Amino acid sequence: MPENFDPQESALIGRYFTNLDKDIFCLVNLPEVVKGTLFSRYSRTEKTLRRVLLDEFINAPEMEFDEIVGSQNQNLSDPLLAIEKAERFYDRVLVGYGDDSVAELAGVHIACENISSLAADYLTNPRIGISPLEKSARYVMFDEKVDGDYLYYKDPSIMASKYSQNYIDSMRNLFESYRSWIYEAMDYVREVSPQDSDTSDRAYASAVRAKGCDIVKNILPASRLTNVGLFGNGRAYEYLISSLYSTELSETQEIGNEMHNELRKVIPSFVKRSQRNEYLVHRRTLVQNAKLTSSQGLSNENSVTLVDFDDDAEKIVASAILYPHAQTNLREIKTLIDSESSEYIENVIKEYVNNRSSRRDRPGRPFENVFYTFEFLSSYGVYRDFHRHRQLTQEAQILTPDLGYDIPIEVEDMGLEDKWNSRMDEAAEVAKKIADSGLLLESQYALPRQFKVRWYMKMNLREIFHMVELRSGPQGHPDYRKIAQSIYHEVQKVHPVLASGISFVDLNEYALPRLDAEKRLDVKRARLK
């Protein structure tokens, strides 16, 4: 039952909660530091949250609450001064508290603009605590110039090297080609996939634009400037900033420094421990010095390889499905399952997943008990799409020109194969020169997204359901759809019963991947009118 407040009390706290008469409510109009501190105090008192705010924050003069938040009848004259007071407030309240978990209770939106695609990979790497969203190369064209040049990152070490002009020339050539070819690509799409009578002009134009961008976007280099928006909690930002400080690239170090400076203005207490981590530096240096080189020539053909998996996956999953409904321990359940027929195990699994009505009906946690490790060889652009699956265990090798590149079939059909090869080969030559001069990591900036990279992912079966059904969808880029489909086929080979539950994998091909989605958008827009 919610606590009752008298009219005077209600007037003081009403603006900070979405209601005062229910047990479920949201906090509003409070700085993040205050919200985090309030919840931390809440965990160590018998009082309700509203009562804690009233008694220990608002009615305690030493807390300077009005100066931090602003009273009901005044605005803050200096928001940054208020943040400084909030930090002192935080330190007073939480002296003696462990504040790691407290930092998870404060969330901040931060925008990182005009950073390279390579740097964006570092920002989108954290598993938990941060939700990133990057400017899309499918929906936004990168053909504009600012101050007479295209938007690509000029690394200080490269610009100080004797190959600086080679780098600039190559980058400009890549962007010039992109600028020209993207419109040719749209014309090509219109020619091979003409508009039908059931498709609106808006839906068709959007689908054509997306397909045109998809065809040529991988000519863009890793140095291409992009924007990334992040929403995260203080604890996650603290670790991310420390990680950025500990990288070898000067760009990511500077991004870490600028993020630190800005977050100090809004959640200073939660990022005050962010600093260069010598263990991370040592770990990266050690690994780089322990390089392994194969004595055999490796194929550079695109591939999806199932490296390892659980042999008894069906039995493991069936045991986990039955566990919550049994009255014995897991070891005994597994022993009983071992004595059952394969038909029985198959029925347990299929009954569990057969009633899914869409890909959003995800299988439960029993499917988290079996694991698969896949290695991939694909374009850097495809890798970046799968890198969004941050919960998975994944690592990539350094992007180099050694594994070569593919030519999109549409580029061949458009008669641009020789020009495509010329641009890619020029970029590869520049990247090799930069790498040979001692700037291996920086040389990645020079390479287009179409160059191949080797990477692996370890994932459980529940994650495979989600990723395969999402990434094989009709609206996806053909290259990453093929990878998702290959993952499904590899699981199907070793565990056909489990793979049969991945019922929303899409194995079809589509000329205009975005068209159906755009048609659905037309329907939604019509409903809103």
Q: Show me where the domains of the chain are located.
A: 7-98, 108-291+408-446, 303-398+452-519
Considering the domain 108-291+408-446 in this protein, what is its CATH number? 3.30.1360
Angle of helix 417-436 versus helix 164-192 axis, rounded to 10: 150
Residue 137's pLDDT is 86
Contacts of 270 (CB under 8 A, 6+ apart): 33, 36, 99, 102, 103, 106, 233, 234, 235, 237, 238, 263
Same fold, 108-291+408-446 and 303-398+452-519: yes
- Residue 412: CB atoms within 10 Å: 11
The CATH label, of 3.40.50.2000, 3.40.50.300, 3.30.2040.10, 3.30.1360.170, for the domain at 303-398+452-519 is: 3.30.1360.170
The 10 Å CB-count burial string (b at 16+, else e) for 79-111 is: eeebbebbbebbeebbeeeebeebbbbbbbebe
Residue 529's pLDDT is 64
List phi, psi (to 5°) of 150.
-75, 165
CA neighbor of 240 nearest in space, from 279, 277, 265: 277
DSSP letters for 135-198: --TTTS----EETTEESB---HHHHTSTTHHHHHHHHHHHHHHHHHHHHHHHHHHHHHSPPPTT
Residue spans of the chain under pLDDT 70? 70-100, 286-300, 302, 519, 523-524, 526-529
CA neighbor of 427 nearest in space, from 166, 103, 121: 166
Residue 73's pLDDT is 43
CA neighbor of 403 nearest in space, from 298, 283, 506, 325: 298
The DSSP bridge partners found for residue 377 are 303, 454
**Are 217 and 177 in contact, with CB atoms under 8 Å apart?**
no
Residue 139's pLDDT is 86
